[in-house]
Copies of this chain bind each other. A is one copy, B any other.
Amino acid sequence: MIPASGPMAFFLSTGSHEALALPLAMLTIFASAKLLAEIFERIGISGIVGEIFAGMLIGPSVLAWVAPNELLVSLADLGVMFLLFRVGLEVKPEELLKLGGSAALVAVSGVIVPMIMGWGIMRFWGSPQIEAIFVGAAMVATSVGITAQVLAAKGLLQQRSSQIILAAAVIDDVLGLLVLASVSGMARGEVNLVEIALTAGLAIAFVVGIALWGNKAMGKIVPRAQESLRVAEAEYALAVVLLFALSVLAVYIGVAAIVGAFFAGMALAGRVGHRVNDLANGAAELLVPFFLVGIGLHVDLSAFRDQSMMILALVLLLAAVASKFIGCGGAALGLGKAEAMRIGVGMIPRGEVGMVVAQIGLGMGAITQNIYGVVVFMAVATTVVAPPLLKIAYKGVEAAAPEERYSLG
């Protein structure tokens, strides 16, 4: 039988390779993620870590069943967007704004300490100036997805420390943007201060504007839309449109799409019915494993055949953990030692954000392939160590009852 071909080959297939590719990839990734999550839960480690390990296991380094491709990256991106959207739905912007001062302090200190530490280590190691700066920059930005997923799963999103982590991560993203712009400028030999200031202004206006007025606006728009719209599941459709619209706007302005997704959720917090939460969860539960597996897929262990690289990777990992713990935790000491510890630990994951900076550095020739591998290792490893540390840091904190976790309006 001839194989079907072309874009719609998936249907009425005749056992062809193309028709098999999509469901097989979905099955491999989703099932291995859930299998390892189950195993890791059973041995007392977070299931999230299990899903990241699933990515390493099936990825190029070990079994080589799956390699990152455009579809998987897109599903991963959608996964983290829905993850942050879902988190946003549980966060009231007023409360986040109230914590803005503490969060800003945490974010700024959490940018400066890792930057300096990363730069210092690389200079000590003998790296050229620009490479050291790029590694420092890759250690700056927090990937809030991992922490948010842990806190959401444990019903801890309403904790003050959790909200500070979320707010600090948003500010951190804006700061990371400025750091990246400056560092890229340095690598090219021209730092455009006007452009950087403009970017900063736009990003701040976007973030503050939506935090201040988004939720109020939705309080007016959603009830009217609900009354007049005839399309099925209109509220959910509206929520999804807002999610993508603010993601697009966020990228236009220069911050990450997930910041837009998070703000879309926050704008709708308390303004939409519980069903929107359930439906968004259905999409998130399908897509988030692709995000987690995707992080694991990027680990390339071949960089570590060289023993000195392995040592550097471990030193950088330690520095990455310690610098956020000290930088962010230290800035939050005024809230008490326990809260400071939670915040310090919650800001540790670098994940995909660190990888992007390293990738840009690689693309510009500012860092070598080996150092790139080391930075990716650092970025992934920080996402793996964070969930167990969060578990310890939040020990004894009472989780919201399941029904209160989505107490929206």
Contacts and interface: CB of A to CB of B under 8 A. Distances in A.
Contacts of A237: 30, 34, 285
A58 interface: no
A63 interface: no
| Residue among A34, A42, A181, A280 with the highest chain B CB neighbour number at 10 A | A34
B23 A257 contact: yes
B359 A8 contact: yes
A2 B356 contact: no
A181 B232 CA distance: 39
A367 B278 CA distance: 47
Given A73-B7, A240-B286, A280-B282, A13 B232 contact: no
Given A12-B256, A14-B180, A73-B7, A286 B285 contact: no
Contacts of A1: 181, 184, 195, 199, 254
Interface stretch (A156-164, A245-253, A321-329): A245-253
Contact of A256 (B11, B34, B69, B257): B11
22 contacts: A1-B184, A2-B364, A5-B359, A7-B298, A8-B356, A10-B73, A10-B257, A11-B77, A11-B143, A12-B256, A13-B356, A14-B180, A22-B78, A22-B257, A31-B241, A34-B231, A38-B231, A42-B230, A70-B70, A153-B232, A279-B282, A281-B282
Contacts of A254: 1, 13-15
A265 to B, nearest CB: 14
A47 interface: yes
A236 B285 contact: yes
Nearest to A286: B283
Contacts of A15: 251-254
Contacts of A244: 23, 26-27, 30-31
Contacts of A252: 15, 20
Given A8-B298, A11-B355, 8 more contacts: A1-B199, A5-B360, A7-B73, A14-B177, A14-B254, A23-B257, A31-B244, A283-B283
A14 B192 CA distance: 14
A71 interface: yes
Nearest to A354: B12
Contacts of A298: 7-8
Contact of A71 (B12, B74, B230, B236): B74
Interface of A: 1-2, 4-15, 19-20, 22-24, 26-27, 30-31, 34, 37-38, 41-42, 47, 68-71, 73-74, 77-78, 80-81, 141, 143, 153, 173, 176-177, 180-181, 184, 188, 195, 199, 229-234, 236-237, 240-241, 244-245, 247-248, 251-254, 256-258, 260, 275, 278-283, 285-286, 298, 352-353, 355-357, 359-360, 363-364
A332 B252 CA distance: 57
A6 B361 CA distance: 12
A181 to B, nearest CB: 5
Given A181-B14, A231-B37, A240-B30, A19 B251 contact: yes
